[in-house]
Amino acid sequence: MKNHKSNDEQLKEQLRKLPKIEDKRTKEEVFQQIEAQMKQDKPSSQKKRSFIWVPVLATVCAALLIFVIIQGQDFSRSYDQSTSEMADDSDMDTFDNADDEASTAEESREADIFNKAEMQDNIKEEYRYLLDMEDTQGASHMAFLTEQGQHIIPITILQSNFSYNQINEYIDLEENDLYDIGIREIQFQRENQKVIATFTDSFELQPSGNNYSNFEKVLAYMFRPLGMKEIQFENHHPILNEGDISNNLVPLSPIEQVPYKIYQSNNGAEWLAAKTDGIFKTLTAALEEMKIAEPAFNVQPSIPEDTVIETEDQPGGQVFVSLSSAQIGDNQITVQMIEAILATAFTYGYQEVIFSIGIDQIGKYDLSEPIQTTDQINIIQ
């Protein structure tokens, strides 16, 4: 506290020593001069500040205006473009959707067709078929004996340029345990509804009643399917002496009431075999015979042995066949059974068979509909 007081006293003392300055103006004059000076300085300062900010503000306003205009144009342009693109996209989507739907439908249809075709191909490849249902006018027919000579194996060759003496080009007889009774040593010529035949020097069939019977049966299986009823031989051979013929004219017996079983060769091939000995006056009797195996002759039943069989004639050349067996199903045995019955029914004069076996489809056969019989047996393409 003492220090502060000492300093104040010193300051006062120094102020007293300063020279005196006298201002003779009155207080009013001093105030007016100060006021006048302040009024003069204030407008100049405001004017100066206004002059400085005006161009700045103008520039800012112009920039803002230009920005707004540009943005408005860009927005309008963008909106129009966006709207147009949306419309185009909508149209394209509409067309694309329509195209996609049409394409999908077409692809689905093609896929269905392909799948059905593939299914049919698979069905055809899954089983081995021995019959042909097509009415092939260009087909040729051959026939051979089984190894023991107890059954006849008819062969249908679907070739229009087939030659009888070239049968080895189509089937290996030795490999299939089949016996040619001498057909390859005979020259055949078909003329309208006649067959002209000539024995060659190499024909060596020994004359006997049994040989002649088999000889005539083979000829019947070759030419009866073509509508031929007799064969005119141009020359003579002692085998003809065993038959009741004249002028070398061999009558051909009709192929009637014949059961078909399955002949199995040593190489595993299976053929429909005609049982030509025995009398089977009705289709039911033939079907019952087809249940019987003949192992001594490599012949298997074409109908399972446990099958219960019922038949009934229907109008229009149809026959109803009902079969019941534990072995019937989606298998090769059933396919062989169906084909053996169709071939057998043909020899009894039936045109169609109505099947009832507990299933509606087996391989290529639609059993929900009557199936045509045929004499085109053991097909070779």
pLDDT in tens, 322-358: 999 999 999 999 999 999 999 999 999 999 999 999 9
What confidence tens digit (pLDDT) does each residue in 33-51 have? 666 666 655 444 444 444 4
Contact 111, 351 (CB under 8 A): no
Looking at 110-124, 147-161, 169-183, 356-370, which range is the least confident one? 110-124
Rounded distance, CA 152 to CA 182, Å?
Answer: 14
Cα–Cα nearest to 180, from 216, 218, 128, 209? 218
Q: Which of 113-117, 194-198, 249-253 has the lowest mean pLDDT?
A: 113-117
Inter-residue contact 218 to 239 (CB < 8 Å): no
Number of domains in the chain: 1
92 is a domain residue: yes
Residue 197 to residue 215: CA distance in whole angstroms: 13
* Residue 135 falls inside a structural domain: no
DSSP assignments along 116-156, one per residue: HHHHHHHHHHHS---B--S--TT-EEEEEEETTSSSEEEEE
When pLDDT is averaged across residues 220-231 and rounded to a whole number, the result is 94
Taking Cα atoms as reference points, which of 167, 164, 220, 227 lies closest to residue 191?
A: 227
Between residues 57 and 177, the one the model is more confident about = 177
Mean per-residue pLDDT over the chain, rounded: 81
- Give every strand in the sheet of 194-199, ordered side by side: 186-191, 194-199, 230-233, 249-251
Q: Which residue has the higher pLDDT, 14 or 256?
A: 256
Q: What is the DSSP letter of 296?
A: G
**Which among 223, 230, 188, 180 is positioned nearest to 205, based on CA atoms?**
180
* Residue 336 lies inside a defined structural domain of this protein: no
**Mean pLDDT confidence for 247-258:** 95
**Domain for residue 77, yes or no?**
yes
**Strand duo 152-157 + 379-380: pairing:** parallel
Query: Would 280 be classed as within a structural domain?
Result: no
373 pLDDT exceeds 50? yes
Closest-CA residue to 156 (of 107, 95, 224): 224
> What per-residue confidence (pLDDT) applies to 72?
52
Q: Please say if the pLDDT value at position 112 is more than 90.
A: no
| Residue 312: partners with Cβ closer than 8 Å, 6 or more residues away | 319, 320
Summarised one tens digit per residue, pLDDT across range 281-304 is 999 999 999 999 999 999 999 999
Could you tell me what percent of the chain has a pLDDT over 90? 56
Half-sphere exposure of 278 (CA within 13 A, CB side): 16
Strand arrangement, sheet containing 308-314 = 308-314, 318-324, 352-356, 371-372
- Give the confidence band of 160 by pLDDT, cuts at 50, 70, 90: confident
Percentage of residues of the chain with pLDDT beyond 70: 67
For residue 91, tell me if it sits in a domain.
yes
- Stretch among 54-63, 175-184, 215-224, 254-263 having the lowest mean pLDDT: 54-63
> Which residue segment(s) compose the domain that 93 sits in?
55-104
Q: How many CA atoms lie less than 13 Å away from 289 in the CB half-sphere?
A: 22
pLDDT digits (tens, 9 = 90+) for 75-106: 445 444 544 455 455 555 544 555 556 566 56
